[in-house]
Amino acid sequence: MIKLTAEEEAILRGDHGRLQQKALENIVLYAEALGAEELCKVTKATLGLGAQPYLNTIQSDDYNKIFSRVYMCTDEILDINNNKFSEDCFCMTCTENCDTDDYEEVGQTQDFFEKNKAFLEIARRAGVSMGSTCVPYLIGWLPLKGEHFVTTESSNAMFCNSLLGACGNPDGIEASAWSSICGRTPKWGLHCPENRYATHEFRIECKADTITDWDVIGYTIGRLLPAGGLPILTGDFAYPSTAEIKQLFATIATTSGAVMCHILGMTPEAPTMEIATGGKGVVETIAVTESDYRQSFDMLCDAGSSEVQMVSLGCPHYSLEEIQDVARYLRGKKVKTGLKLHIWTAYPIKEMARASGHLAVIEDAGGRLLTSSCPIMVGDSVVKGVKGVALDGAKQAHYIRSMSDAAVYYGDKFRCLDTAISGKWSR
Ligand code: F3S
């Protein structure tokens, strides 16, 4: 039996309208299924919205019908056009299936692009802010210590739990929508302090000096972490930078179900091993060796060399600093004719890159700065006709294999940029 506050009882009675009532009904059912005994107030949310391809199963362009059936899980048609998401929860869009401005560059149709815009416009009018990124923490969506959030992006959940001390689980797009509307989520998983303790120590014995190293280390930790484990990193390494942490957390969440990771002495809930483990100690210590690192690298990067038709950078989305690295490297160089160089970021960051002069340098070289999506979210159309692709994000290198038969090459951004210039990946 879920314990509800007076405010929650009022929402369930329908005092705040049918949409909020239905959202809370769903959250209560969800909480019961999870065995949660109460709900917690959610003050930040990121949501998967727009024209997601699986919405086509409803075979309708009526967004009220689509939203009711898919997001709210009901045959009753709820009116999203005249309703608001929770005013106490800062709701922002997660990555979408389209770039903000262009559809031809990624092989999509104008119809799909316009439909995506129309669906997002309905969400905007309902109170959802347009951020459309997997790195909302870089553009002002920033839950702090003890704050409860929901998100559809696992790498975001990992970053906010681990580095910021905020509390949240990655949810499906439906549960995130319910929470965004009624401002509540079941108190379970990482919303509960007792589930935030480290269980597995990962002693880093391999190189840990670059962004790519941390990307591969995260991928390796995820591979070696037993199900249900929560890692803590120890070893003789310099604390990773923001860009390195971004990669580390994205890849742990790619190869495992973990959505929190402590770094001893660095992250807020791990000042000591004793505090990080709740005084219980870890159940196992696992070394990450050079050999583990090499094995992961070989899983991510195909052997040999070949012509490459596409280079895609920015998984998770690039920060302004990473875009600056690219612009500095590309200044005075030219991308091979016919090769697509895509650099993915959030559109507020693209505007900063424009104001900083980086966008002009990248475009002069023949690259494109794209926003709000990525090859995985765009889907097959972006890799159509591509026989070789080079990427600097292990998460993307991992997933793109299921979308394409292309050779997949993985390496640091400068090696990928050299490939964009020469048109060939060389081992
Ligand atoms: Fe972001 Fe797409 Fe990578 S959503 S984390 S760029 S797979």
pLDDT of 407 over the 80 cut: yes
CB 215 within 8 A of CB 251: yes
pLDDT of 55 over the 90 cut: no
Cα separation, 170 vs 35, whole angstroms: 17
- Stretch 122-137: mean pLDDT: 95
Q: Ligand 1, closest atom to CA 155?
A: 5
Q: Ligand 1, closest atom to CA 375?
A: 2
Cα separation, 399 vs 375, whole angstroms: 10
pLDDT of 136 over the 80 cut: yes
The pLDDT of residue 1 is 82
- Stretch 138-149: mean pLDDT: 97
How many C-beta neighbours within 10 Å does residue 307 have?
A: 14
Greater confidence, 364 or 427?
364
Q: How far is the CA of 337 from the centre of ligand 1 (A)?
A: 26
Q: How far is the CA of 247 from the centre of ligand 1 (A)?
A: 10
Cα separation, 283 vs 315, whole angstroms: 32
The pLDDT of residue 207 is 98
pLDDT of 203 over the 80 cut: yes
With bands split at pLDDT 50, 70 and 90, how would you rate the model's confidence at 52? confident
Q: Ligand 1, closest atom to CA 393?
A: 3
For ligand 1, say whether the CB of 396 is within 6 Å of any of its atoms: yes
Q: How far is the CA of 133 from the centre of ligand 1 (A)?
A: 8
Whole-number mean pLDDT of the chain?
96
Give exposure, 238-269, as e/b (b: 16+ Cβ within 10 Å). eebeebbbbbbbbbbbbbbebbbbbbbeebeb
Distance of CA 128 to the CA centre of its chain: 18
The pLDDT of residue 333 is 98
Q: Ligand 1, closest atom to CA 377?
A: 2
- Stretch 98-116: mean pLDDT: 95
Q: Ligand 1, closest atom to CA 316?
A: 5
- Stretch 350-362: mean pLDDT: 98
Mutate to test the pocket of ligand 1, among 47, 94, 95, 99 (most ligand atoms within 8 A of CB): 95
The pLDDT of residue 100 is 93
Nearest CA to ligand 1 atom 4: 134
Q: What is the DSSP letter of 226?
A: P
For ligand 1, say whether the CB of 135 is within 6 Å of any of its atoms: no
Cα separation, 239 vs 262, whole angstroms: 12
The pLDDT of residue 150 is 97
For ligand 1, say whether the CB of 247 is within 6 Å of any of its atoms: no
The pLDDT of residue 401 is 92
pTM of the model: 0.96
For helices 290-300 and 211-224, the axis angle rounded to 10 degrees is 100
For ligand 1, say whether the CB of 158 is within 6 Å of any of its atoms: no
With bands split at pLDDT 50, 70 and 90, how would you rate the model's confidence at 84? confident
Q: What is the pLDDT of residues 175-193, one digit of tens each?
A: 999 999 999 999 999 999 9
pLDDT of 81 over the 80 cut: no
Mutate to test the pocket of ligand 1, among 134, 155, 248, 318 (most ligand atoms within 8 A of CB): 134
Q: How many CA atoms lie within 13 A of 270 on its CB side?
A: 27
With bands split at pLDDT 50, 70 and 90, how would you rate the model's confidence at 79? confident
- Stretch 32-53: mean pLDDT: 95
Mutate to test the pocket of ligand 1, among 374, 382, 398, 402 (most ligand atoms within 8 A of CB): 374
- Amino acid letter, residue 349: I
pLDDT of 83 over the 90 cut: no
The pLDDT of residue 7 is 96
pLDDT of 402 over the 90 cut: no
The pLDDT of residue 427 is 73
pLDDT of 356 over the 80 cut: yes
pLDDT of 137 over the 90 cut: yes
The pLDDT of residue 213 is 98
With bands split at pLDDT 50, 70 and 90, how would you rate the model's confidence at 96? very high
For ligand 1, say whether the CB of 408 is within 6 Å of any of its atoms: no
Q: How far is the CA of 317 from the centre of ligand 1 (A)?
A: 7
With bands split at pLDDT 50, 70 and 90, how would you rate the model's confidence at 53? confident
Q: Ligand 1, closest atom to CA 95?
A: 4
Write the DSSP string, 264-314. TTTSTT-SSHHHHTTTS--SEEEEE-HHHHHHHHHHHS-SS-EE-SEEEEE
Q: What is the pLDDT of residues 287-329, one digit of tens each?
A: 999 999 999 999 999 999 999 999 999 999 999 999 999 999 9
For ligand 1, say whether the CB of 46 is within 6 Å of any of its atoms: no
- Enumerate the β-bridge partners of residue 341: 311
For ligand 1, say whether the CB of 397 is within 6 Å of any of its atoms: no
Q: What is the pLDDT of residues 258-293, one digit of tens each?
A: 999 999 999 999 999 999 999 999 999 999 999 999
- Stretch 85-95: mean pLDDT: 93
Residue indicated by tokens 């409860």: 148
